[in-house]
């Protein structure tokens, strides 16, 4: 019943290699987000998208890029992975921009655990 899927769910890579995480939604929501979750920090926004080819930076965007060529897909790319990017990455979707409306609901994917050695 998942309206949002992330792939891969687990990945181990080496420092300096490129990595792409994919988020796919079937809900036709306008807004898509990439967060990272680290102990003691909660969820921190990396980038978000407000439409096809429309993206903006979040609070921890350095070292990450995103692309959205179709409504349903939002890709997160680490051009050259570093150990500090070891984390669990969550994609989320919403039909209104997070932080604007009290009625806004974020629906999260199951997460992608990335380990950079």
Partner 1 sequence: TQLLEQSPQFLSIQEGENLTVYCNSSSVFSSLQWYRQEPGEGPVLLVTVVTGGEVKKLKRLTFQFGDARKDSSLHITAAQPGDTGLYLCAGALQGAQKLVFGQGTRLTINP
Nearer to partner 1, 3 or 18 (CB): 3
Token pair of 107 as six digits = 């629906």
> Nearest distance from residue 87's CB to partner 1, in Å?
14
Q: Which residue has the tokens 């349903």?
A: 72
Q: Give the whole-angstrom CA distance, residue 6 versus residue 25.
A: 9
Nearer to partner 1, 45 or 114 (CB): 45
Provide the binding-site residues for partner 1, judged by CB under 8 A.
Answer: 40-45, 90, 92, 97-111
Nearer to partner 1, 4 or 81 (CB): 4
**Nearest 10 degrees: CA dihedral of 54, 59, 64, 66?**
-20
Cβ-based neighbours of 37, under 8 Å, separated by 6 or more? 43, 44, 87, 88, 89, 90, 111
Q: Give the whole-angstrom CA distance, residue 20 versus residue 91.
A: 13
> Nearest distance from residue 111's CB to partner 1, in Å?
6
Nearer to partner 1, 62 or 102 (CB): 102
> Nearest distance from residue 59's CB to partner 1, in Å?
9
> Nearest distance from residue 106's CB to partner 1, in Å?
7
């Amino acid at each position: 019943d998942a309206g949002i899927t992330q792939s891969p769910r687990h990945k181990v890579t080496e420092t300096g290699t490129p990595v792409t995480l994919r988020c796919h939604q079937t809900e036709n929501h306008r807004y898509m987000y990439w967060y990272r979750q680290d102990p003691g920090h909660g969820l921190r926004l990396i980038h978000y998208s407000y439409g096809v080819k429309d993206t903006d930076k979040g609070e921890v965007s350095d070292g990450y890029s995103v692309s959205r060529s179709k409504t349903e897909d939002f890709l997160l790319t680490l051009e050259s992975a570093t150990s500090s990017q070891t984390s669990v990455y969550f994609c989320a979707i919403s039909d209104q921009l997070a932080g604007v409306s009290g009625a806004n609901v974020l629906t999260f994917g199951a997460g992608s655990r990335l380990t950079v050695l």
